Amino acid sequence: MTTTTPTGLGLRDSSLPNQITEIDQKTGQKTVKMGEMIFPPRKVWIKTFGCQMNYHDSERILSHLSDLNFSLTENEEEADMILFNTCAIRDLSNQKFYSQLGQVKHLKKSNPQLKVGVGGCVSQTEGKSLIKKYDHLDFAFGTDVIDTINDMVYRTYAGEKRFSINSWDRSQNFSIETKVTHGSPQAFVNIIKGCNKYCTYCIVPYTRGKERSRKKAEVVEDIRRLVEYQGIQEVTLLGQNVNSYGHDNGETLAELLMDLENINGLELIRYTTSHPYDVSDELVAVHGSSKKLSKHLHLPVQSGSDEVLKRMHREYSVEHYLGLLEKLRKAQPEIVLSTDIIVGFVGETDEEYQMTLDLLEKAQYDSIYSYVYSKREKTRAANMVDDISKEVKGERLRHLQKFQQGIQEKIRQGMLENSYRVLVEGFGNMGGVKKWKGRTNCNRLIHFLPENNDQDLQWNWVDLKVKSTTAFSCQGEIVKIYGKRMPR
């Protein structure tokens, strides 16, 4: 049976019971009750595809589920529930999701108690058909109903079969009051959802809906609480187009950044992702004056050809874009820039492609994300003739990445023997050797050896001197360790 439940604005269904949590004084064991139903400790495996917005949504999902006695597992085989948080931006991410969804069918055969849910951008528009098509799916939910995830889980365990929940354009579900930090001093905070830009290649306006900004006072209060009560030192402000922030409320991103600057204990502010059209002079000035704003800006350009930019409906010219980089570098000489590039967009000639290489040379990006154009149904470009062969697209991408690699190699060499303060984010095994990694203020990763193998440097602030570099990474050595609070 397929049940689809329209939930209006997607607010909580008031006929569903509230959660009651009891902790056994002796054993410390947590029991959660919703109505007559008891939720014992269970494990959830969440597979996230796509951008930071999706990763943050997964974090919010987990934060809600932990109230229902779920904890995260890295092992899908031991999961009581599997959730997919999907991405629709390119066909490749779609394909990965569908292949993993297929694999889960086998898990469900060997464990019929397993519950499977799908959220995210694919589910936002395709939820109902996913439920119809895949009979091992228990529920599907859109991107605007995350705060009611526990009701969906309750309904699933209450025996309701295969339903989908969706809603559009809610702005009251942004806030995350608590966060599962595991001691991390970093937090993502949504400030705007949706996008009104309708770039001709992009599916986002169709999956995330219209722009809605949170009120500045509410965002500031949320972050103040994260800093005061949860030890957060670094925030990343999130939105599909953060530069449009506040347009609907008469507020601006620049004003928000200036207000955040005043929060004691907040050390570092990042924001992503940006559209060059809305970068105001006021915002450029804040990059120069702010003491807490990261000296890194991700400013997607997509192409170095005015004609391609017109076909993409990007609303700026190459000259305007390069002028913006110049203004930013003048305001903040230490700023480090990165971008997104699409190659092989409909009708892209060899000359137009060459213009993108010219732009890379002029812009001197610290890093880029580059993709071949992927046709998305519903978008305006889907009606244009996608006339570049797969081979040409692939060749242009490889060539562009090689070209950019040369630029980055030189930029990284310029970092040699300089010292950088990093916040240590974790460690990895590099050729059998344990190395820690930290991110600089300007978003560059530096790997380094601890002073001894047992040293735990997680979430420490450390000064590192760069000793060797490649196009993509740096190796450094410890100069000074400050501990878990940013030194004054």
Binding site for ligand SF4 (CB under 6 A): 195, 197-199, 202, 204-205, 240-241, 275
Of 309 and 422, the one with the shorter C-beta distance to ligand 5AD is 309
Any idea which residue has 């050595």 for tokens?
477
CB 247 within 8 A of CB 282: no
Is residue 300 close enough to count as binding ligand 5AD by CB under 6 A?
yes
For residue 145 the two structure tokens come to 């109903």
* Cβ at position 341, least distance to ligand 5AD in Å: 7
One of 56, 60, 90, 270 touching ligand 5AD (CB under 6 A) = 90
Beta-bridge mates of residue 54: none
> Looking only at residues 42 through 81 of this chain, which bind ligand 5AD when binding is defined by CB under 6 A?
none
Of 356 and 440, the one with the shorter C-beta distance to ligand 5AD is 356
CB 424 within 8 A of CB 478: no
114 touches, from ligand SF4, ligand 5AD, none (C-beta below 5 to 8 Å by class): none
Of 378 and 485, the one with the shorter C-beta distance to ligand SF4 is 378
275 touches, from ligand SF4, ligand 5AD, none (C-beta below 5 to 8 Å by class): ligand SF4
Amino acid type, 230? Q
Is residue 246 close enough to count as binding ligand 5AD by CB under 6 A?
no
CB 416 within 8 A of CB 389: no
80 touches, from ligand SF4, ligand 5AD, none (C-beta below 5 to 8 Å by class): none
CB 425 within 8 A of CB 417: no
114-133 per-residue burial string, b: 16 or more CB within 10 A, e: under 16: bbbbbbbbbbbbbbeebbee
Q: How many helices (H) and strands (E) does the chain have?
A: 12, 23
* Cβ at position 158, least distance to ligand SF4 in Å: 37
Reduced to 3 states, what is the DSSP secondary structure of residue 185? Answer: coil
* Cβ at position 312, least distance to ligand SF4 in Å: 8
Of 150 and 241, the one with the shorter C-beta distance to ligand SF4 is 241
Residue nearest to ligand 5AD (CB): 340
Is residue 13 close enough to count as binding ligand 5AD by CB under 6 A?
no
Of 177 and 377, the one with the shorter C-beta distance to ligand SF4 is 377
Of 260 and 309, the one with the shorter C-beta distance to ligand 5AD is 309
Of 202 and 337, the one with the shorter C-beta distance to ligand 5AD is 202
For residue 280 the two structure tokens come to 């105001």
Of 305 and 441, the one with the shorter C-beta distance to ligand 5AD is 305
166 touches, from ligand SF4, ligand 5AD, none (C-beta below 5 to 8 Å by class): none
For residue 454 the two structure tokens come to 């047992």
Of 167 and 374, the one with the shorter C-beta distance to ligand 5AD is 374
How far is the C-alpha of 481 from the C-alpha of 449, rounded, in Å?
A: 13
Would strands 163-165 and 445-448 be described as parallel, antiparallel, or unpaired?
unpaired
Q: State the SS3 of 290-313.
A: CCCECCEEECCCECCCHHHHHHHC
Amino acid type, 18? N
CA angle 260, 261, 265 (to 5 degrees): 90
* Cβ at position 316, least distance to ligand 5AD in Å: 14
* Cβ at position 472, least distance to ligand 5AD in Å: 19
Is residue 122 close enough to count as binding ligand 5AD by CB under 6 A?
no
Q: Where does 29-149 show beta strands of DSSP type E?
A: 30-34, 37-39, 42-48, 70-72, 81-86, 115-119, 139-141
Amino acid type, 43? K
One of 212, 275, 376, 437 touching ligand 5AD (CB under 6 A) = 376
Is residue 371 close enough to count as binding ligand 5AD by CB under 6 A?
yes
For residue 286 the two structure tokens come to 């804040």
Reduced to 3 states, what is the DSSP secondary structure of residue 119? Answer: strand
* Span of 150-158, 370-378, 404-412, 462-470 interacting with ligand 5AD by CB under 6 A: 370-378
Count of residues interacting with ligand 5AD (CB under 6 A): 12
Which residues contact ligand 5AD (rule: CB under 6 A)? Answer: 89-90, 201-202, 300, 302, 340, 342, 371, 373-374, 376
